[in-house]
Amino acid sequence: MPELPEVEVSRLGITPHMLGETIKSIRIHQPQLRWRVPDEVMLAEHQVICEITRRSKYLIITTAVGSIILHLGMSGNLRVIDNSVPLKKHDHIEIELENGKVLRLNDPRRFGACLWQNPNEQHATFAKLGPEPLTDDFDVEYLYEKSRNRKTAIKQFLMDNAIVVGVGNIYANESLFKAGINPKREAGKISKKRYQLLVPIVKQTLSDAITQGGTTLKDFAQTDGKPGYFAQQLLVYGRKGEPCVTCNTQLTEIRQGQRSTVYCKKCQK
């Protein structure tokens, strides 16, 4: 599914076309996504978009009367195109602007979401989220303290949105490989010295993916329709059975929390 870098790339892609523009109309072609689209979303019609932000994997399009919250789910993508372009199959939501552009949410599996947040309120979805990984709130002291007495495997610990948001499966795999940490190790048994190595690696891995346009997955494309190309640099994810780039040992795949984990038994301890 689209992970934090892909969502951030989407935010960067739509912002130049939408920020400061007036919403002409909103069309809901399929109201039943992961949750039913609330009627309050229509309140944003005829409002100026004053801010476009991201929290975890959610995009927040803010107006004076409230905010539209979008989530791409497992297969969703956003496109900003001319309003004259015909609808594609699975184009479920359109936000048409006065400038002739339209934002379309396409989501074949319908696991995405379109929610509403009132002004000066926090949507319930955000209440239990941990810090953003690219902010100063996510540092060595924070992660080390959170890990104490935790028997959870370090990979699943990193992917827990209550601990830190947005470090999804791909980037947890990659970060742990670069840090030389076995993904099966208990989070509480990893030393502070190793967390001092891991935290900046997580930040750099996510930053690199954002810079390079997100990871190419079959369901992801940027708002201009071009795929991201960070996948060309993946060191372990999706490389089961291939040689480790460091020691040439065959990479191993296991399942953790119903997700694929690929790692090197020799390099990751």
Q: Which of 11, 57, 101, 104 is catalytic?
A: 57
Q: Which of 55, 109, 194, 259 is catalytic?
A: 259
Helix axis angle, 4-18 to 192-211, nearest 10°: 40
- DSSP SS3 for 206: helix
Between the CA of residue 231 and those of 51, 170, 198, 215, 249, what are the distances in Å? Answer: 30, 10, 21, 5, 21
Burial of 27 (0-12, 13-18, 19+ CB in 10 A): middle
Asked if residues 251 and 244 have their Cβ atoms less than 8 Å apart, the reply is yes
Asked if residues 147 and 185 have their Cβ atoms less than 8 Å apart, the reply is no
Instruction: Judge whether 3 counts as a catalytic residue.
Output: yes
Residue 258 carries which side chain, given as an amino acid letter?
Q
User: Which runs of consecutive H residues, i.e. helices, occur in the chain?
Assistant: 4-18, 140-147, 154-158, 169-179, 192-211
Instruction: Judge whether 200 counts as a catalytic residue.
Output: no
Instruction: Judge whether 194 counts as a catalytic residue.
Output: no
- DSSP SS3 for 190: coil
Asked if residues 36 and 10 have their Cβ atoms less than 8 Å apart, the reply is no
Instruction: Judge whether 183 counts as a catalytic residue.
Output: no
Catalytic residue numbers? Answer: 2-3, 57, 259
